[in-house]
Amino acid sequence: MDTGAERVAALLLAFGAGGAGNDHGVSDLARAVGRERSQVSRMLKSLERGGLVEQDPQTRRYRLGWTLLVLASSAGDAALLRAARPALRGIVARTGEVALLSVQRGNRSFTVLREESNQSLRAGGWVGRSSPMHCTASGRALLFDSDDDLVDALTEQDLRTPISGTAAPRDLPELLERLRAERESGYAVAGEEVEIGLTSVGVPVRDHSGALVAAVNISGPTSRLVGRIQDSVHRLRTAATAIETALSRPYRP
């Protein structure tokens, strides 16, 4: 008789069929592991609560969560993490500020990689941290391809509780106005929106098909970054291009 742990392991391994990055329906996964659909659905909900899988809000299909992929990176980097690490190190070497890679996880910007120098501001984010999408540079960069209805759905909960004393958007029209301007410029700037004295700049990262898969951003004290926004944008675009180029190439260990 198999244990609960063995059932969970079999379900997670089933995500590897056809590539770990693929989305899977509950019925497909149930057939793959030879279980009842209702049982697999309950297991997936438990795994989702733990951050090991995530469900697409539109298709209702599941994929492996970034929490699991980050944990797995110690044994063998996922393609995005592997491609981003040298690019982030290059940003830190040239700016001395924190450099981050974030992905969308549900309605949050989720940090999956961080590089910093000795002079970096440590409050700017860390691996495993999730942040609201409406008031962070990484979050808004991740929203660049989302239509207004999806932006509303992803940010509605957070916009209900404004961050007191900061410059964060107060409502959906203000957020959409900022997003329209940032899409046009190709980068997002969150100046003192999460906390006073902190500014971040973010740009999107796309895969070979043009799909938005991540955001890279620089985070640091407003006093240092406020006069270096365009230089930060240049560094981030260079890093994003390097990541995108690396993702388009076959991996050779």
Residues 123-171 pLDDT 10s: 444 666 788 999 999 999 999 999 999 999 999 989 988 787 789 999 9
Pair 148, 132: CB distance under 8 Å = no
List own/partner pairs for 204-212 with CB under 8 A and 24 or more apart: 204/141, 204/142, 204/144, 204/145, 204/240, 205/80, 205/84, 205/101, 205/240, 205/243, 205/244, 206/240, 206/244, 207/244, 207/247, 207/248, 208/244, 208/247, 208/248, 211/145, 212/142, 212/144, 212/145
> Rounded mean pLDDT of the chain?
86
Considering the domain boundaries, does residue 77 fall inside one? yes
Predicted local confidence at residue 137, as pLDDT: 96
User: Domain residues for 17?
Assistant: 4-64
Shared domain check, 166 and 133: yes
Looking at the structure, do residues 59 and 150 belong to the same domain, yes or no?
Answer: no
1 pLDDT higher than 70: no
At residue 176, does pLDDT exceed 90?
Answer: yes
**Residue 251 corresponds to which tokens in the numbers above?**
């991996």
Q: What confidence score (pLDDT) does residue 11 get?
A: 85
Does residue 17 surpass a pLDDT of 70?
no
Q: What whole-number percentage of the chain has pLDDT above 90?
A: 51
Q: Are residues 26 and 136 in the same domain?
A: no
Find the range with the poorest average confidence among 129-133, 213-217, 243-247: 129-133
- Is residue 252 situated within a structural domain? no
pLDDT at 2 over 80: no
Co-location of 121 and 80 in the same domain: yes
Tell me, yes or no, whether 57 and 90 share the same domain.
no
- Write the CATH number for 166: 3.30.450.40
Strands 198-206 and 188-191: antiparallel
Residues 105 and 54 in one domain: no
**Is 80 exceeded by the pLDDT of residue 226?**
yes
Per-residue confidence (pLDDT) for residue 19, from 0 to 100? 44
49 and 80 housed in the same domain: no
Q: Residue 184 has what pLDDT?
A: 97
Q: Residues 76-99: what's their mean pLDDT? A: 87
